[in-house]
């Protein structure tokens, strides 16, 4: 029956976690992120990537958006059983 066992990825949905708020990384910030990534390693689908400065493109034109505490700074894709579990795995303590 071992061949019929489902992995975490088989029974879970994928959720995109967006990191909001950019601050120049220091050792404390990097250590907190690494600790968080370690805590979710079994649920990580895509470790994501940080985003650089953003631009808003609309029919009215293009404008540069600030890369600050209000910016979408990156993403991570994880597996979770539901939205509630995904929220529990979010990096809310990493700031």
Average confidence score pLDDT of the chain: 84
Q: How far apart are CA 22 and CA 87, in angstroms?
A: 20
Q: Which tens digits make up the pLDDT trace of 17-58?
A: 988 888 888 999 899 889 988 988 999 999 998 888 889 999
Strand partners, 2: none
- Secondary-structure breakdown of the chain: helix, strand, coil percentages, each rounded to the nearest 5: 30, 35, 35
Check whether 7 has a pLDDT greater than 70.
no
pTM higher than 0.85 for the full model?
no
């Amino acid at each position: 029956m071992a061949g019929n066992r489902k992995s975490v990825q088989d029974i879970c949905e994928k959720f995109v976690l967006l990191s909001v708020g950019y601050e120049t990384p220091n050792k404390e910030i990097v250590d907190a992120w690494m600790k968080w990534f370690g805590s979710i390693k079994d649920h990580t689908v895509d470790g994501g990537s940080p985003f650089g400065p953003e631009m808003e493109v609309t029919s009215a034109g293009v404008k540069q958006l600030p890369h600050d505490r209000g910016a979408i700074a990156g993403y991570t894709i994880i597996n979770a059983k539901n939205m509630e579990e995904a929220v529990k795995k979010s990096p809310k303590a990493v700031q």
